[in-house]
Chains A and B, each alone.
Chain A
Amino acid sequence: MTETNPLTKKDFKSDQEVRWCPGCGDYAILNAVQAVCARMGIAREDTVFVSGIGCSSRFPYYMSTFGFHTIHGRAPAIATGIKTANPELSVWIVTGDGDGLSIGGNHLAHILRRNVDVNILLFNNQIYGLTKGQYSPTSPVGRRTKTSPMGSIDRPFNPISFALGCNATFVARTYDSNLKHMERTFEAAARHKGASFVEIYQNCVIFNDGCFEDVVDKKVRDDRMIDLVPGEPMIYGKQREKGIKVEGFETNVTGADDASVWDPTLSSSAPAFTMSMMDENPGHPNPVGVFRAVSAPSYDEVSASQVAEAITESGAGTIRDLVYAGETWEVS
C-alpha cells in the first residue's frame, strides 16, 4: 500500500481552493490530517474520505484522495458500504456535531457498535455553521443562538459518552489549537483496527467564537485540561502538580503523586465513562486524549470472511447453480 517516494503533506492537498471562513478551526484539522496521511505513507488511491453535510463536510474536496461528499447525516452509512464492499481501503469519515449527532445520530451509533474499520472525525463546534448559527445537539443549555434567543433548553450530548455508550472500540478527543496533539490522536485512530471515533473541539469564528476558549486557551489550558495518555499517570497543571485519582466511580483531584495511571484498554468501558464526564464535577479539568482503545473483530473483516468461508466450503457459485436448483422437473 505504501509508495516508494516518501510522501509529503502537499501530496494530500487537492487543487481546490479551501473555502472555510478565515480563522476557522477546520484549516488546522485539515493540516493535521494531511500531515498524518503523509507520515503514515498511506496510498492516496487506497484512501476515501466520506462526509455528510455541514462546514466540516467540505473536507473531502480538499484532499487529493478519493472522496464522497454525501447527504446530511449519512456518511457513516455510505462509508459502511464502501468499507464492507472493499475492506482493503482506508476509509475516513468527516462529520460535525449536527451531521453526526443530530440528523445522523442513528448511523453514527450503528457504525460504532458494528465496529466497521473506519476513522471518524467529529468536528464539534457546538453550532450549526453552514445554516448560519442555530444551536446544535452539543450546544450547552442556555446558549443563545438564532433559534434559541432565550437560551437553548436542550440538554446536550457528550460525544465521548455517546461513543462509549455505543461500545466503540477507540474513542478519543483532541482540539484544533494543538497540531501535535491532533496528529498524535489521528495517527492512533488510523492505526486502530475497528471503528475509531475522535471528537475535535473546533472553533467556529463566525457563529460560536470562543466556545471552547475557557478550556483550550493557551493561558488556561494547563490548569483546565487533562490529557489522558495510555499507561501514564493522570497529571496536569502548569507545574504538572495536580493529578486525578480514581476511586470507584468517582474521580478526585489530588496531588500529582497520588494520580492514578490511565488505562484505556480495559474491557469494561465504565472507567472511560467516568473520565468522559469528569468535567461535570466542580474543580475538575476537561479531559482530552484517548478514552478507550480495545480490540474487537471489525464488521467488514468478518463479513468478508463469511463470504470466503462459504466459497471454501461449497465452491464459488455460478448462475447455473442458482437457477437449476431445488426440485426441478422435465417437460419434453
Chain B
Amino acid sequence: MTTTREPGSDLPLQKQERVVIRFAGDSGDGMQITGNQFTSTSAAVGNDLATLPDFPAEIRAPAGTRPGVSGFQLCFSSIDIHTPGDNPDVLVAMNPAALVVNIADLKIGGVVIANTGNFTAKDLKKARVEVNPLEDGSLEGYRVIKVDINKRVTEALDGSTLSTKEVQRCKNFYTLGLMYWLYSRPLEPTEEWLRKKFAKRGELAEANITAMRAGFAAGDIHEMFQGRFEVPAAELAPGTYRKIMGNQALALGLISGAELAGLKAFLGSYPITPASSILEVMASFKRHGVVTFQAEDEIAAICAAIGASFTGSLGMTTTSGPGVALKGEAMGLGVCVELPLVIVNVQRGGPSTGLPTKTEQADLLQALFGRNGEAPIPVLAVCSPSDAFDCAIEACRIAVEYMTPVILLSDGYIANGAEPWRLPDIDGLPRFEARFEKPREKGNSRLMPYSRDERSSRPWALPGTAGTEHRVGGLEKEHLSGEISYDAENHEFMILKRQEKVMGIRASIPTPEIRGPRSGDLLILGWGSTYGTIIDAAERCARTGTEGSTLHLRHLWPLPEGLDEIFDRFKAILIPEINLGQLARVLRGEYPHHNFISFPKVQGRPFLSTEIVEKVTDILER
C-alpha cells in the first residue's frame, strides 16, 4: 500500500508495533463513523485490530455535555492482538466534555488532539468545566496539539454551496484526515466509501473528501507533530479476511446455521439495545429465505419463533437481558415441547434497564436457571466478534440435533466491537441436517411424538405431514404418547429425561484446550468477552517470566468433560468476570474440590489487561 500523498516534509517516519487511538466527541460529531473508517482502512492495509465503541445512553443528549460524549477506541497493530487496548496513545477530543471524560485513560505522555474551536466559554460551561483544561496546566505530561478544526473546515470548504451546519458536519472527516496523515494511511478507501454513501448527494461526498484531504495536508503544513508513524501490516495467518462486528457475525452465523441444518431461518425479535442490529442485518437477507418478524413485544417474539419451529423452520429470537426476563415462561414452553429454538442474549449492564449501552456478563445465572420448574437449557457464550459466527452455528447445531432451546450469550462489547475475520472454508463447516417424520398411511402405527432417539431427542413431525397429527403443549407430557399426564412417576421420569438429554450434549462437545503450560500454580479461566483481555494479560505475564496458562469456556451448560482433570493440575484457578462471580459460583458447585478465585469487575466496561496482570502477580506473590 502506498499513501496518496507522500510526506511533503522531512518529518521522520517511525515504525510502531501497536497504537491505540480513542476518538471522542459529541454524539452528533460522527465519532463512530470516524472510528469505523479508520478501522476499515487499517484492515485494508493489513493491520490486526480490535475496536471498542462507547455509545452514550441517550441518542442525543444535550450537545456539549458529558452524558453526550460518544467514543470509539481502536487498537491497530503489526502483531497479533486480542483487545482494543487498555490505555489510548492518542486521544482526539472534539470538545471539553470529551476531553474531561476521557483524559484519565490516556497513557502518560500520550497525545491529545483538541479541537480548540469548541473550547469557548459557552462550551466549557456545557461541559461543567470551570477553567479551560487546555490552559490551566492540567494536561502537563501529555503532548497537546491544538487545532481549531471548526475554523479549518470552514476555510477548506470556503465557497462551497453547503449550509454552515453542513460544513461543520464535515469536521470529523478533517479529523480523520489528520489522523490518516499521522499514521500514514491511504485516503482512497474512505473516499470510495463516501462516494458510495452519498451517491445521491455528490456534493456532500465531495465536501467530506475535501475536508479529509485538508486534514491530511495540515499534518505537513502546520508542523503540528514532530513525526509521523507507520504501523506495518500484521503477520496474520494466510487466508481471505474481512472486518466484522460481533452482531453482524452473529446474524451471519444464525442464517448459516439454519442453512447447514437444511432449514429456513425464522427470527422473531423486538428491538432492544444492544441486540437490535442482529434483527436489522437478518431482515436484509431475505434472499437467503430468512423470515424476520418484528414482534409487538419480547414475549411475542419468542412465541412466534416457537410457532415457526413447530412448522419446521429454525426459530430464533434475539434480545438482551431485560428481554430474556420477559421470555422466561416461553423458554419453559420450549423445554416442554422440545422444539429447536435459539435464544440470543446480547448482555448489557443490569439489573432492570441498567446500563443499556454498556457491557456486562451478569446474565449467566439467569441463562442457566431463570425459569420456573426444572427447565434445563444448554448455554454457550461468544468470545470475540468473529467467534460469534462459529458460536451461532454451534447453537443451531445443538438446537436441531437435540430438539431443544439453546441460549447463546454475547455482550455489548462483542456486539459493537470489530476485528479482522479470517473467513472460513465453507465446505468445512459442520452440517447437521434436520430429520422430519415421514407421512404415515392410515392403519400404520401411530406417531409417538415423545419417543426418543439415541440422543434422547424426540421426533419432529410437521403440520402438513399426513398421519402425524399430534398435540403439544406446556402441560406435562406422557412419555411416548405425549398425551397430557398428571401421573407422579411419569412427571419425574420426564424431568429426568429432559435433564439427561441436555447433559448428553457433552458427548458432542470438545474439552477446551489450555493455552500455555499444561499445569502450574495458576490457571486463568474465562468465558465470553473476557477472552481477548485474558490472552493479552497471559502474554504479558509470559513476557515477564510469569507463567500464564489460560482456558476459555464456550459451552457453559452442559460444561464440557475433562474440566475436573484440568483443574486438578493447577493450584488455583482465577476467574475474571464482568459480574460478581457467577461462573465461579457455578464451578464451585460442580467441582467443589478446587480452589477458584473469583475476580469480579462490574463497571459496565471490559477488563483492562493490566488489571488481570496485576491480579495474577498479586496471587503468585502471596
Contact = CB atoms under 8 A, between A and B. Distances in A.
Interface of A: 14, 16, 43-48, 50, 60-61, 64-71, 74, 76-86, 88-89, 106-107, 109-110, 303-304, 306-307, 309-311, 313-332
A45 B469 contact: yes
Contact of B463 (A48, A304, A315): A48
B501 interface: no
A82 B310 contact: yes
Closest 6 CB pairs of A and B: A81-B307, A69-B473, A81-B304, A77-B303, A67-B471, A310-B286
Given A45-B467, A78-B307, A107-B296, A324 B256 contact: no
A89 B463 contact: yes
Nearest to A312: B287
Contacts of B241: 328-331
B366 to A, nearest CB: 19
A283 to B, nearest CB: 40
Interface residues of B, number: 73
A322 B429 CA distance: 14
B472 A85 contact: no
A328 B306 CA distance: 36
Nearest to B304: A81
21 contacts: A16-B483, A45-B439, A45-B463, A45-B465, A65-B469, A74-B299, A77-B307, A82-B463, A85-B315, A86-B313, A110-B300, A304-B291, A306-B286, A309-B286, A311-B289, A317-B288, A323-B424, A327-B43, A327-B189, A329-B240, A330-B240
A319 B44 contact: no
Nearest to B423: A323
Contact of B333 (A70, A324, A325): A70
B243 interface: yes
B79 to A, nearest CB: 14
Contacts of B309: 81
Contacts of B236: 331
Give the interface centre of A14, A86, A310, A318 by most chain B CB atoms within 10 Å: A86
Contacts of A88: 464
Contacts of B300: 74, 76-77, 80, 106-107, 110
B463 A323 contact: no
B268 interface: yes
Contacts of B268: 81
Contact of A85 (B291, B330, B429, B439): B291
Interface in B450-472: 463-472
Contacts of B524: none
Contacts of A69: 471-475
A131 to B, nearest CB: 15
B463 A106 contact: no
Contact of A331 (B46, B307, B311): B46
Contacts of A307: 286-287, 289-291
Nearest to A66: B463
Contact of B266 (A79, A84, A331): A84
A317 B305 CA distance: 22
B207 interface: no
Contacts of B305: 81
A327 B40 contact: yes
Nearest to A299: B293
A322 B308 contact: no
A70 B464 CA distance: 20
A78 B301 CA distance: 9
Contacts of A309: 286
A64 B447 CA distance: 13
A311 B287 contact: yes
A89 B426 contact: no
Given A16-B483, A85-B311, A326-B242, A66 B289 contact: no
Contact of B242 (A303, A329, A332): A329
B312 interface: yes
Nearest to A306: B286
Contact of B471 (A60, A83, A304, A311): A60
A89 B44 CA distance: 49
Given A89-B311, A329-B43, A61 B286 contact: no
B104 to A, nearest CB: 35
Given A77-B304, A327-B243, A317 B463 contact: no
Contacts of B583: none
A319 B464 CA distance: 28
Contact of A327 (B238, B242, B266, B308): B242
Contacts of B466: 43-45
A310 B287 contact: yes
Contacts of B514: none
Contacts of A319: 255-256, 259-260, 426, 429
B237 interface: yes
Given A61-B471, A64-B469, A80-B300, A71 B240 contact: no
Contacts of A325: 242
Contacts of A332: 238
B297 interface: yes
B304 A71 contact: no
A85 B289 contact: no
Given A66-B463, A329-B240, A331-B239, A80 B468 contact: no
B471 to A, nearest CB: 4
Contact of B287 (A14, A43, A317): A317
Contact of A68 (B287, B473, B484): B473
A79 B304 CA distance: 7
Nearest to A316: B287
B483 to A, nearest CB: 7
Contacts of B555: none
A17 to B, nearest CB: 10
A68 B423 contact: no
Nearest to B255: A322
Nearest to B256: A319
Contacts of A107: 296, 299-300, 303
Contact of B238 (A84, A314, A323, A331): A331
A5 B319 CA distance: 48
A64 B367 CA distance: 36
B329 interface: yes
Contacts of B264: 85
Nearest to A49: B471
B464 A45 contact: yes
Contacts of B465: 45
